């Protein structure tokens, strides 16, 4: 039997109903904050992701040549495509530009719970402003989204990648060596970071001080440990968040992020219940447009790992409205099938969801099917009733049945 490829899933009707419900909440929240949706291609020129995403992403890229010999890649994330789309189509629009997106991403990772090769991100970007207000707005949007989904247990951490980049530069790490070291620091793999730092000319004491910095976590007091302007910047971001009534994220100078393009504030949200793959959202400020042929423009954004956030909600026992079918229509005999279809048409035109027997089933089987699909009512169309322009309406919850004039059927179903 052919199965779906490793790391991918088929999303079946119940799961899709659940996903559309939560997607709607994210979409509404994005719109409440003034973001507008964009959609970009699922594959792009591979170079788009190779230029600045960093070693993590490049190693996981689904890259291929098309029949014309072009080097393409399935998108591993949607920030680089969003900025490419901005450079290509929106660079003259009034700024800041607030956009959001939802779609599949692909990474050749080792699949496990919460980690897939095809997964969905819901993300947003503010393009064209580099202010603490922008960062606060983005973080508020992300946190409000997670809250609106109804997730109870989650934790947000905010840092500033400028601090670590400066410290590394000060101890002699050249710019081209930084991505690999930052990647190790992101995962707190100090033993793997050390030989890279040593090779870059860093002494053991300096390395330990940097390791120590990445472990610095806490409240406002942490800001006192930062020497540069990043401290004041973070303070402002936190003050705008507080003004909006958003709970303060923890300050964590060890938030490095797995992608290489960040330049300023970085943040992550995690759901501890998820264990190893607990990061449900990541983001920060960056510049990419100049790499794609545009002017240098600062942006801030985030992406929520949609599959992970749904797993976290499931673990918390969150429920959402399921399938809804108002009426299942059954013709008691073949000669009244056209009338059954006429009634189905009338109900659907009037906004009632109606399904209909398509298999000339016997009444008992048709009833069983109506109950298995969760229909609220069954409408039984029989020749005797039809003589009085009536049908039999069965309430599938109470089991009660009554004869109803066809002219009153719509109101009967709608009113209950």
Smallest distance from ligand HAM to CB 70, Å: 23
Distances 70 to 63, 67, 88, 292 between C-alpha atoms, Å: 10, 7, 19, 17
- Count CA atoms within 13 Å of residue 66 on its CB side: 10
Choose between 162 and 382: whose C-beta lies nearer to ligand HAM: 162
Choose between 284 and 382: whose C-beta lies nearer to ligand HAM: 284
Choose between 214 and 337: whose C-beta lies nearer to ligand HAM: 214
Smallest distance from ligand HAM to CB 281, Å: 5
**Distance between first and last Cα of the chain:** 46
Smallest distance from ligand HAM to CB 302, Å: 5
d(CA 287, CA 291): 8
Give the distance, in angstroms, between the CA of residue 29 and the centroid of all CA atoms in the same chain. 12
Choose between 303 and 329: whose C-beta lies nearer to ligand HAM: 303
Residues 6 or more apart whose CB falls under 8 angstroms from that of 369 comprise: 328, 357, 361
Choose between 231 and 299: whose C-beta lies nearer to ligand HAM: 299
d(CA 364, CA 215): 66
Choose between 95 and 225: whose C-beta lies nearer to ligand HAM: 95
CB atoms within 10 A of CB 19: 16
The DSSP line for 337-368 is HHHHHHHHHHHHHTT--EEE--S---HHHHHH
Smallest distance from ligand HAM to CB 320, Å: 20
d(CA 101, CA 124): 6
Smallest distance from ligand HAM to CB 20, Å: 19
Listed residue (383, 374, 143, 133) closest to 246, CA to CA: 143
Choose between 57 and 379: whose C-beta lies nearer to ligand HAM: 57
7 and 60 in contact (C-beta within 8 Å)?
no
Smallest distance from ligand HAM to CB 258, Å: 5
Smallest distance from ligand HAM to CB 131, Å: 16
Q: Is 67 exposed, middle or buried (0-12, 13-18, 19+ CB in 10 A)?
A: exposed
Which residue has the CB atom at the shortest distance from ligand HAM?
305
Choose between 22 and 377: whose C-beta lies nearer to ligand HAM: 22
Smallest distance from ligand HAM to CB 116, Å: 4
d(CA 304, CA 311): 13
The position carrying tokens 């009660």 is 400
Please give the residue ranges that form the binding site for ligand HAM (CB under 6 A). Answer: 77, 79, 107, 109, 115-116, 119, 121, 123, 125, 258-259, 279-284, 301-303, 305, 307-308
Smallest distance from ligand HAM to CB 278, Å: 9
Choose between 165 and 308: whose C-beta lies nearer to ligand HAM: 308
Kind and range of the H or E run holding 157: strand 155-160
């Amino acid at each position: 039997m052919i199965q779906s490829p490793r790391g991918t899933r088929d999303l079946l009707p119940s799961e899709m109903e659940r996903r559309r419900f939560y997607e709607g909440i994210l979409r509404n929240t994005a719109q409440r904050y003034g973001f507008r949706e964009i959609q970009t291609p699922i594959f792009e020129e591979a170079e788009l992701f190779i230029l600045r995403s960093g070693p993590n992403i490049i190693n996981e890229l689904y890259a291929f040549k098309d029949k014309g010999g072009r080097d393409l890649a399935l998108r591993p994330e949607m920030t680089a495509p969003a900025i490419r789309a901005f450079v290509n189509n929106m660079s003259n629009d009034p700024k800041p530009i607030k956009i959001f997106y939802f779609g599949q991403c692909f990474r050749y990772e080792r699949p496990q719970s919460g980690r897939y090769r095809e997964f969905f991100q819901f993300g947003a970007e503010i393009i064209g402003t580099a202010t603490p207000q922008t960062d606060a707005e983005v973080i508020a949007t992300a946190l409000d989204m997670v809250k609106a989904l109804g997730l109870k247990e989650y934790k947000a951490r905010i840092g500033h990648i400028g601090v670590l980049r400066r410290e590394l530069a000060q101890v002699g790490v050249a710019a081209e060596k930084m991505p690999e070291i930052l990647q190790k620091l992101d995962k707190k793999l100090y033993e793997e970071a050390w030989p890279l730092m040593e090779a870059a000319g860093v002494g053991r004491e300096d390395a330990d001080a940097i390791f120590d910095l990445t472990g610095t976590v806490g409240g406002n007091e942490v800001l006192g440990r930062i020497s540069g302007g990043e401290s004041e910047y973070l303070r402002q971001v936190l003050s705008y968040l507080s003004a909006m009534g958003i709970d303060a994220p923890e300050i964590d100078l060890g938030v490095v992020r797995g992608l290489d393009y960040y330049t300023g504030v970085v943040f992550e949200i995690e759901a501890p219940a998820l264990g190893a793959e607990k990061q449900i959202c990541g983001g920060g400020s960056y510049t990419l447009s100049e790499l794609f042929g545009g002017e240098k423009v600062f942006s801030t954004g985030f992406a929520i790992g949609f599959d992970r956030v749904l797993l976290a909600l499931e673990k918390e026992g969150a429920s959402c409205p399921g399938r809804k079918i108002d009426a299942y229509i059954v013709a008691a005999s073949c000669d009244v099938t056209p009338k059954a279809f006429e009634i189905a048409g009338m109900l659907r035109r009037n906004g009632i969801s109606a399904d209909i027997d398509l298999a000339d089933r016997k009444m008992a089987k048709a009833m069983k099917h109506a109950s298995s699909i969760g229909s609220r009512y069954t409408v039984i169309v029989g020749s005797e009733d039809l003589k009085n322009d009536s049908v039999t309406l069965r309430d599938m919850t109470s089991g009660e049945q009554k004869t109803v004039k066809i002219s009153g059927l719509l109101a009967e179903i709608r009113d209950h």
